[in-house]
């Protein structure tokens, strides 16, 4: 072989190395498949795996006295048998399944596995919002009612569950952001301050950032087209156009959601509001510090996407935590009104509905999605109707650190 040919072959080998190294499945596929594999195995096999894992762990710790090992094994066997027979301890505080009913792949831990949790910063800071009659709260203008209110509860709350999962993610690195961008076919341009990276394809720019402390926001991405995006043909209107656009870029949510469209001028904003599946309860919305639902947003002009923004796909771990009862939640929300009822003539707000929701709690290297109870009511001041949200942390206070 001639020397130039050798060099050409070496260059081709390097290209092949790069090609195989950069070809990876779409984001989320790894966890989806792992969950399917776990679900496909008989319970007996999973128990056997756990057993073998325990034996291996013991082998790796030879200094442990044999008597202690034997005692641990007896306890583990007992717990395993009870767990697989369907029995639960303490009112249902067992570990959760690895696949929620919403099809979200989670790595499940044992009950309370994350230790004491930081408390969400919620109710006191949620201002009432003016609402136009007949319009949903999400479409209301942001006219805040600054005065104090007195709260009453006239609704009915029955959560029907004693535990709820808490979800945790690890703060993504620049590497994680790069992998996400690579899955979109985007190349790193630079790392602007406050962002993990800015990336480009020939068609669009994508920026990725990590968790924001205040107001709390999980790691997210935003896509802005560089060139005009071709119109997307979809039969069902803006929501379908948005979903098709997201699917084309492997960004369709892997979590449950409901959709909503708000039209402003020639721009339609499609919001896919994120939900978490809670066994025994159903689906609970993700809300921000003001109690508003949020998730993934796509702005459209006609059938052309002009931007998309949403949470970075991340692997979530989950662990069940005991939550307060409905009565405790009501007592807690009513108690919160005494602090704000400074004025003697404060208007009375009748809270009429309540639901389980999730909110982000930022906590350094790991952050959490924690359950809360969101109470909602409306009241009138000077002829204007306002909507009031109040949130109460749902995790039992004994399992919270603050």
Partner 1 sequence: MVADRPPFEDLYRAYLGRIYAYVRAQVASSADAEDITAQVFMNAYNAYERFEARNTTPAAWLFRIARNSTLDHFRAHGRRERLRRTIEHQPVAEVDPSGVAEDRIQYHALLERVAKLPERQRDAISLRHSGLSFEEVGVLLKCSEDAAKMLYHRALKALKEAVAMEGV
Which residue ranges make up the site for partner 1 (CB under 8 A)?
Answer: 8-9, 12-13, 15-26, 29-30, 33-34, 36-37, 40-41, 49, 52-53, 55-56, 59, 182-186, 201-202, 247-250
Sign of the Cα torsion 383, 384, 385, 391 reads negative
User: Cβ closer to partner 1: 37 or 344?
Assistant: 37
User: Nearest distance from residue 185's CB to partner 1, in Å?
Assistant: 3
Q: Which is nearer to partner 1, 122 or 298 (CB)?
A: 298
Other CB atoms closer than 10 Å to residue 32's CB: what's the count?
Answer: 16
Which CB atom, from 17 or from 144, has the smaller least distance to partner 1? 17
Q: Which is nearer to partner 1, 52 or 124 (CB)?
A: 52
Q: In whole angstroms, what is the distance from residue 203 CA to residue 275 CA?
A: 31
Smallest gap from residue 243 Cβ to partner 1 (A): 11
55 or 267: CB nearest partner 1: 55
Strand partners, 298: 270, 308
What is the 8-class DSSP label of residue 227?
Answer: S
**Of the two residues 253 and 393, which places its CB atom closer to partner 1 in the complex?**
253
Please tell me the number of Cα atoms within 13 Å of 346 on its side-chain side.
19
What's the min distance (Å) between Cβ of 4 and partner 1? 12
Tell me if residue 315 falls in helix, strand or coil: coil
Strand, helix or coil for residue 80: helix
Cis geometry, peptide bond prior to residue 215 (ω within 30 degrees of 0): yes
User: What 3-state class would DSSP assign to 157?
Assistant: coil
- Tell me which residue of 77, 72, 75, 74 sits closest to 61, measured CA to CA: 72
Shortest spacing between CB 53 and partner 1, in angstroms: 6
Minimum CB distance to partner 1, residue 274 (Å): 22
Nearest distance from residue 37's CB to partner 1, in Å? 5
């Amino acid at each position: 072989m001639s020397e130039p040919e050798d060099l050409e072959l070496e260059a081709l080998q390097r290209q092949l190395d790069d090609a195989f190294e950069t070809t990876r499945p779409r984001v989320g596929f790894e966890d989806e498949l792992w969950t399917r594999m776990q679900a496909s195995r008989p319970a007996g096999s999973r128990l056997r795996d756990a057993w073998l894992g325990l034996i291996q762990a013991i082998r790796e710790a030879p200094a442990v006295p044999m008597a202690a090992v034997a005692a641990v094994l007896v306890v583990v066997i007992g717990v395993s048998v009870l767990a697989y027979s369907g029995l639960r301890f303490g009112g249902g505080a067992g570990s959760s399944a690895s696949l929620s009913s919403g099809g979200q792949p989670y790595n499940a831990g044992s009950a309370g596995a994350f230790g004491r949790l930081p408390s969400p910063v919620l109710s006191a800071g949620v201002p009432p919002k003016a609402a136009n009659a007949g319009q949903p709260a999400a479409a209301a203008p942001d006219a805040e009612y600054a005065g104090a209110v007195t709260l009453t509860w006239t609704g009915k709350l029955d959560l029907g569950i004693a535990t709820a999962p808490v979800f945790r993610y690890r703060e993504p690195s620049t590497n994680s952001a790069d992998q996400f961008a690579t899955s979109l076919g985007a190349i790193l341009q630079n790392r602007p301050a406050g962002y993990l990276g800015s990336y480009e394809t020939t068609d669009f720019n994508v920026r990725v950032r990590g968790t924001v402390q205040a107001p709390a926001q999980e790691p997210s991405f935003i896509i802005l087209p560089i060139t005009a995006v071709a119109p997307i043909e979809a039969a069902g209107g803006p929501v379908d156009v948005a979903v098709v656009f997201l699917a084309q870029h492997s960004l369709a949510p892997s979590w449950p959601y409901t959709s909503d469209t708000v039209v402003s001028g020639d721009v339609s904003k499609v919001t896919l509001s994120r939900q978490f599946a809670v066994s025994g309860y159903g689906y609970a919305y993700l809300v921000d510090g003001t109690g508003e639902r949020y998730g993934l947003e796509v702005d459209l002009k006609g059938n052309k996407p002009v931007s998309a923004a949403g949470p970075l796909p991340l692997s979530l771990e989950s662990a069940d935590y005991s939550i307060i009862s409905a009565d405790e939640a009501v007592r807690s929300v009513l108690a919160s009104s005494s602090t704000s009822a400074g004025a003697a003539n404060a208007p009375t707000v009748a809270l009429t509905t309540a639901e389980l929701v999730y909110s982000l709690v930022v906590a350094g290297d790991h952050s959490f999605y924690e359950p809360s109870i969101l109470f909602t009511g409306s009241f009138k001041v000077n002829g204007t109707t306002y909507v009031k949200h109040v949130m109460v942390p749902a995790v039992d206070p004994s399992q919270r650190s603050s």
